[in-house]
Amino acid sequence: MPLAIEAPLGVAEAVGLLAAEPDRVIVAGGTDLLPALHDGRVRAERLLSLERLREIHAVGRTGEGGLFIGAGVSATVLVEVLEPLLPALAAAAAVIGPPGVRNAATVGGNLVSAAGGDLLVVLVAVGAVAVLESAAGRRETTVEQFLSAVDDTGRPDLRPGELVAGVRIDRMPADARFARLAVPGHRVLSLAMARDAHHPEIRVAVCAGRRVPVRAAAAEAVIGAELRRVGRNIEPEVLIAFGRAVGEAAGTADSVPVQYARHAADVCAQRLLARMVGDE
Amino acid sequence: MSEPLPSYQLDVDDRAHLVVGAAVTESLQYVLRERLALTNVKDGCAVGECGACAVLLDGQQRLACLTLAISASGRAVTTAAGLGHGRPTEIAEALARVGAVQCGACIPGALIATHALLAADPDPSDGAIRAGLSGVVCRCGGYGRLVAGVRAAARARNGVLGG
């Protein structure tokens, strides 16, 4: 008789179990599954725990100077370990919840639930890749693409039999920043920017009035043109145009008025960019 | 209806308990409070938003309502009542002394959060205290006294260490 909970030690065994028993519900830290069970949104008779999977609990440099973060890495570990490597992601991990939640919440869980934009905006801004494993092998897609499926189907692009092994950042940014704004009871804004190490460009990811982050493409074009023109001395009018463009990437889905979300995104984007170019 | 799990052991506050006939989806909060009658583990919200069910799992602060009970098997679980191994802790005495204990519902979670905070940061600033207790929702609104209590607890502990 199959056990109600399996906790395999390796990814190969885990994906084999998922293929053989597709009704098994995956659980890692429990911060998403337990409330869903309580609310009746999920029914589960058999579980697959990722707690012992060797391959998904590490943070490490890749051979090409990139960074791999295992899906099972907790927010607490991100705060501790990423401060020297990618402080923007450490800063985001520090605010996703109180200490007890941070000890259990995982990167993989955040990707799969596609809820809460703090870690996700940073991952989108730095161009992170999601590494997915299944019995069919490895699949890779950008975090941005993985999450964009939510706009169409309500769920990220996680296919049957797949689990998230981790995220990988192939090209570390020269500089990355994170900001968020919340008022009691309402998440207003999560925002991240990453300056490319080799090209005069800044990627901007914003999550305001939307469930998942989007790239603020028009804002990126504005700042990219200005960086190519003048380097770091950004003209004030350009900063204003940049902020407005980031604001226009805000959506209407949350409980705060869209005008407020747009204004918050505009102001926070200007401040974050000014700090980024001014600090060098 | 799912099959009950085979019996499993939970080590809680230096005692071994056998959990029989549980469902795999039961939370640690449910098992500790309802099956093992460890009622200092409160049922505040069941969805991880109030902090009342906080426990230590292998010394690390966790919300019991967000933790599968079966995943705690083979690990050391410490409830607020177990922090002092049967005696009140300096933290508990400090919170009581400053009047932070009103209805008491938030206190077990506050004790666990304070214990974890002071273990990592023995002399926390007020900002660090508020951050460390950011998961504690006090329905009596006694946050000022909670912060004062943690400050007093830190002073008492540091005094003991220094003296």
Q: How far is B123 from chain A (nearest CA, A)?
A: 17
Interface of B with A (CB under 8 A): 2-3, 5, 23-25, 27, 46-48, 51, 54, 60-63, 65-68, 70-71, 112-113, 116-117, 132, 134-136
* Global ipTM: 0.95
Computed over every residue of chain B, the mean pLDDT equals 94
Q: Give yes or no for A104 touching B (CB within 8 A).
A: yes
Which tens digits make up the pLDDT trace of A91-101?
999 999 999 99
Q: How far is A277 from chain B (nearest CA, A)?
A: 29
Mutating which of B24, B65, B70, B79 best tests the A interface, going by the most A Cβ atoms within 10 A? B24
Q: Give yes or no for A16 touching B (CB within 8 A).
A: no
Contacting residues of B for A51, CB less than 8 Å apart: 71
Q: Cβ contacts of residue A252 below 8 Å, gap of 6+?
A: A209, A258
Which tens digits make up the pLDDT trace of B53-101?
999 999 999 999 999 999 999 999 999 999 999 899 999 999 999 999 9
Write phi, then psi, for B89 (nearest 5 degrees): -85, 165
Give the C-alpha distances (Å, rounded to integers) separating A240 from A125, A234, B85.
Answer: 20, 10, 60
Which tens digits make up the pLDDT trace of A164-200?
999 999 999 999 999 999 887 788 999 999 999 999 9
The residues facing B27 across adjacent strands are: B68
Q: How confident is the model at residue B3 (pLDDT cuts 50, 70, 90)?
A: confident
In 3D space, the residue among B105, B11, B59 whose CA is nearest the CA of residue A99 turns out to be: B59
CB contact at 8 A, B61 and B113: yes
Q: Name the residue type at position B124.
A: P
Q: How confident is the model at residue A233 (pLDDT cuts 50, 70, 90)?
A: confident
Give the C-alpha distances (Å, rounded to integers) separating A179 from A16, A106, A189, B92, B116.
Answer: 40, 20, 8, 37, 27
Q: How far apart are the first and last CA of chain A?
A: 62
Contacting residues of B for A47, CB less than 8 Å apart: 24-25, 68
Please give the residue that has the higher pLDDT: either A280 or A68: A68
Mean pLDDT of A88-92: 98
Residue percentage of chain A with pLDDT more than 70: 99
Q: How confident is the model at residue B37 (pLDDT cuts 50, 70, 90)?
A: very high
Instruction: Flag if B71 and A30 touch (Cβ within 8 Å).
Output: yes
pLDDT on residue B162: 37
Q: Which two tokens stand for residue A223?
A: 């700042």
Which tens digits make up the pLDDT trace of A40-58?
999 999 999 999 999 999 9
Residue A123 has pLDDT above 90, yes or no: yes
Residue percentage of chain A with pLDDT more than 90: 89
Residue A109 has pLDDT above 90, yes or no: yes
Q: Which two tokens stand for residue B39?
A: 């009622």
pLDDT on residue A56: 98
Residue B163 has pLDDT above 50, yes or no: no
pLDDT on residue B123: 96
- Distance CA(A197)–CA(B104), nearest Å, equals 53
Of B24, B47, B54, the CB nearest to A100: B54
Q: Which two tokens stand for residue A137?
A: 């092998």
Please give the residue that has the higher pLDDT: either A278 or A200: A200
Of B51, B66, B116, the CB nearest to A34: B66
Residue with tokens 């399996």: A6
pLDDT on residue B1: 52
- Distance CA(A191)–CA(A179), nearest Å, equals 5
Q: Which two tokens stand for residue B127?
A: 């900002």
Report pTM. 0.95
Mean pLDDT of A99-121: 96
Give ∠ CA A8-A9-A15 in degrees, rounded to 5. Answer: 55
pLDDT on residue B74: 96
Contacting residues of B for A38, CB less than 8 Å apart: 27, 46-47, 65
Count CB-CB contacts under 10 A for residue A165.
Answer: 26
Q: Cβ contacts of residue A43 below 8 Å, gap of 6+?
A: A37
Mean pLDDT of A33-43: 96
- Distance CA(B150)–CA(B118), nearest Å, equals 9
Residue with tokens 């919440």: A105
- Distance CA(B25)–CA(A46), nearest Å, equals 9
Contacting residues of A for B23, CB less than 8 Å apart: 4
- Distance CA(A158)–CA(B49), nearest Å, equals 27
Computed over every residue of chain A, the mean pLDDT equals 95
CA dihedral A116, A134, A160, B23 (to 10 degrees): -80
